Amino acid sequence: MIICELVLDDDETGPLPAAMMGLNMLVETEGGHNWTEGEYREWLTGAGFRDVQRVRLDAAGANAAIVGRK
What pLDDT, in 10s, does the model give residues 3-55?
999 999 999 889 999 999 989 999 999 888 899 999 999 999 999 999 999 99
**Cα torsion for 62, 44, 1, 65, to the nearest 10°?**
20
Q: In whole angstroms, how far apart are CA 51 and each of 16, 19, 57?
A: 27, 26, 18
Report domain extents, the chain.
2-69
Phi, psi angle pair for 24, to nearest 5°: -60, -40
pLDDT over threshold 90, residue 2: yes
pLDDT at 60: 83
pLDDT at 55: 97
- The three-point CA angle 28-34-23 to 5° equals 45
Do 65 and 47 touch, CB atoms closer than 8 A?
A: no
- Output the pTM of the full model: 0.86
